[in-house]
């Protein structure tokens, strides 16, 4: 599981840099200020949560013993961050590029996913997200 999380983290960071660069340099005619602000917000949130995913993936690599699976709370955190990137950031990207405000409906769901991820890390940090055994 840790390899998947680390791979998703790296991919998310790569996409954040690529989208940020494309928005700044490659889009013909640029973006209107509102769309540019949406892209900027999405890129920032995506990069921060890619780094959070990287941390979770590394945290998952610290099993109490070789046969232990990562704590369920860490798995929930990783899923929350990945889903948040997809829905929050993806929704803002689509909104900025298409102008279709109906696409913005998924953005709050993505924001909630980010919050779930952070809450799961708090839970784990407080010692409630213990490890399960077996692979």
Q: Could you give the CA distance from residue 30 to residue 42 in angstroms, rounded to a whole number?
A: 17
Model confidence pLDDT, tens digit, residues 43-86: 999 999 999 999 999 998 875 554 556 789 999 999 999 999 99
Domain extent, residue 62, equals 2-133
The secondary structure element, H or E, covering residue 31 is none
Q: Report how many domains make up the chain.
A: 1
pTM: 0.87
Cβ(93)–Cβ(46) under 8 Å?
no
pLDDT 10s digits, 11-35: 999 999 999 988 888 666 677 888 8
How many of the other CB atoms lie within 10 Å of CB of 53?
A: 27
Query: Nearest 5 degrees, angle CA 68-CA 85-CA 90?
Result: 150
């Amino acid at each position: 599981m840790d390899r998947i999380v680390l791979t998703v983290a790296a991919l998310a960071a790569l996409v954040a840099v690529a989208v940020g660069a494309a928005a700044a340099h490659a889009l013909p005619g640029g973006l209107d200020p509102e769309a540019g602000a949406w892209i900027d917000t999405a890129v920032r949130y995506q990069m921060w949560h890619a780094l959070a995913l990287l941390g979770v993936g590394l945290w998952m690599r610290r099993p109490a013993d070789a046969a232990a699976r990562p704590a369920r709370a860490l798995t929930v955190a990783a899923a929350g961050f990945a889903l948040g990137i997809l829905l929050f950031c993806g929704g803002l990207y689509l909104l900025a590029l298409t102008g279709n405000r109906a696409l913005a409906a998924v953005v709050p769901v993505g924001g909630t996913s980010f919050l779930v991820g952070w809450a799961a890390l708090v839970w784990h940090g407080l010692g409630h997200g213990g490890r399960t055994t077996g692979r």
